[in-house]
Structure 1
Amino acid sequence: MQGTFAVLERQMVLYRRLWQASVFSSFVLPVLFVVSIGIGVGGYVGEIDGWDYLSYIVPGILASGAFQTALSESTFPVLGAFKWTRSYHAARATPVRIIDMVLGWQLYIQFRVAAASIVFLLVSAVFGAVHSPWVVLTPLICGLLALSTAASVSAFSATIENDSYFSLLFRFVMIPATLFSGVFFPVEQLPAVVRPLAYASPLWHGVELSRSAMLGGATPWPWAVHVGYLILLSALGLWWAWRAYSKRLRD
């Protein structure tokens, strides 16, 4: 694990110098969503499933923030480390193993997600959107959601040469997932033919787990199914990332 923590330490040093660039997307933007949509639009929406709209969407915004952070930190930074800065190639010339590169980067993303989640939860509590002591589990849920997303996206980023693929990823994966994975309204309101796409998204499982933890209700499916699905995606993503990193550095 020494190599893994060496990779994490490098990223933390870089983040300490560049953290101001992430303040808006990681901390300010989610709070603006709470105020504008949760309170502003919520005044017209009323209640959903017995909860005021603010309380209903806050867990979804929390999960979607983790999802978007994981996705964005696994695209340009990973491709750039292979193609432009070639920092992965430099690390390959050291005792750091490929699995250390994969795990170290994922630990860095976990730090980013945990910091943003804790700040967002504190703000949500001020607005009265926390209703259950199980809220303490939400940073862990967001971390698992982030891993299930970031591992596979990192693997994808390691296999491409052109960053234009990322615009397709953002347009046809991140945006639809954010809009149609239960963040702003129940998935049951979607046409039955497209619901399986929402169920396949890791974001939906993260949203439902977060909503259950923050509101104290039951999840649509048994919680073990939601957690197990995210763990499965995480394991497959880490394996794919290790294979993709290995091939890229060998070539």
Structure 2
Amino acid sequence: MTTHASRLPVPPGRTRTVPPALHEFAYWLHRYRRTWRGTVVLNVANPLLFLTGIGAGLGTLVNHHNSAALGGLSYLAFLTPGLLAASAMQTAYIDSAHPVHQSVQAKGHYWAASATPMSPVDIYYGHLLFNVFKVTLSATAFTAVAAAFGAVDALRAPLVVVATLLVGAAFAAPSAAWAVTAKRQPTVLAVLRFGVMPMFMFSGTFFPLSQLPGWLQPVVQATPLWHGVELCRTAALGTGTAAGTAVHVGYLAVLAVVGLLLGRRTYQRHLHS
């Protein structure tokens, strides 16, 4: 196990030049060095399979029979931004909830980190920064593949990555804040199965919201992923209004900030010395 710096006092007259949270980030980055090659392959292979099989394959049938429901867009152009947002949500939750839950268990990494000069908040911020870093890598790879397919305009690709990054932060911050309090692994899995996956399927990723029953549409519009999908679609296609975009950005930003504030409290409560 990689160890953190021992609990040594800072000499008089000297101050730390590196924020403590970056030490936690460095720990997770060091662990990632063992698996990054496989992650890169998945980050390229997954969008290739989705965009080829669903976007291009199934998209041919959708374009032929129901293109009007997509507002004149090809199914590939409609699907790609939604998949980016949904993938960011899934990556953020899985990479936040599961490692956090494991790290806070008996003999987990967090307890070793707590024996260093880092505070629980430093541990939270450092781990969260690493998770957002992974979402950024995944989003960049996905967007690059999408641009190669012609599904995303290369000039709009940076905006798409930024939008996807906001989606990832909006899910990663509250997921970690909650996961540190989870008592059992099945609880973490249950949230994935009955919370994350239904949002993945029914938040406008694969089909327009208008295809859902009227009573269900307001429910979907209240979910964070719907706002993420709409924001990514606006960034990729240039659609949407300034007011609508502001609502999506505000919703996701508030969710991220609330997650940060909750994480400060939950980490301090569960990792206090």
TM-score range (shorter-chain normalised) is over 0.9
Aligned mates of 1:118, 1:132 — CA distance in 2: 12
- The offset of 1:29, in angstroms, is 1.6
TM-score w.r.t. structure 2 length? 0.86
1:65 matched to which residue of 2?
87
Following the alignment from structure 2 to structure 1, what is the Cα–Cα distance between the partners of residues 48 and 223?
Answer: 24
Q: Which position in structure 1 is the counterpart of 2:26?
A: 9
Give the structure-1-normalised TM-score: 0.94
Per-residue CA deviation, residues 144-202 of structure 1 (Å, 9 max, x unaligned), is: 11111111111221111110012211111111101111111111221122222212221
Question: 1:158, 1:122 → 2: CA distance?
Answer: 34
Cα distance in 2 for partners of 1:25, 1:244 equals 32
Which residue in 2 is equivalent to 1:141? Answer: 163
Distance in 1 separating the partners of 2:122 and 2:110:
11
Structure 1: unaligned runs, 5 residues or longer: none
Q: Number of paired residues?
A: 251
Aligned to 1:44: 61
Q: Which residue number in structure 1 is paired with residue 111 of structure 2?
A: 89
Distance 1:131 1:192 in 2: 33
Match of residue 103, structure 1, among 125, 141, 162: 125
* Larger Rg computed on CA atoms: 2
Separation in 2 of the partners of 1:106 and 1:250? 18
Structure 2: which amino acid aligns with 1:45?
V
Question: Structure 1 residues 157, 21: closer, same or farther in 2, change over 3 A?
Answer: farther
Distance 2:200 2:164 in 1: 14
Amino acid at match of 1:165: T
Q: What is the 5 A alignment of 1:78-227?
A: 78-131=100-153, 133-219=155-241, 222-227=244-249
Q: CA deviation at 1:207?
A: 1.0
Contact 1:132 1:213 in 2 (8 A): no
**Cα distance, 1:15 vs structure 2:** 0.3
Letter in 2 for 1:245: Y
Paired AA for residue 246 in structure 2? A
Spell out, residue by residue over 1:43-90, the C-alpha distance to the aligned partner (whole angstroms, 9 max, x if none): 110132111101110111111111110010112100111105421111
Deviation at 1:25, TM superposition (A): 4.5
Structure 2: state its 5+ residue gaps: 1-17
Pairing 1:35–2:52 present: yes
Q: Are positions 1:230 and 2:252 aligned together?
A: yes
Does the residue aligned with 1:51 lie in a helix, a strand or coil? coil
Is residue 118–residue 139 contact of structure 1 (8 Å, CA) maintained in 2?
yes
Q: Give the alignment's Cα RMSD to 1 decimal.
A: 1.8
Paired residue type of 1:232: V
Kindly indicate whether the alpha-carbon contact (under 8 Å) linking 2:182 and 2:188 is maintained by their aligned counterparts in 1.
Answer: no
1:123-151 Cα offsets, whole Å, 9 max, x none, are: 11111112373331111111111111111
Tell me the secondary structure at the aligned position of residue 222 of structure 1: helix
Give the aligned residue type for 1:44. L
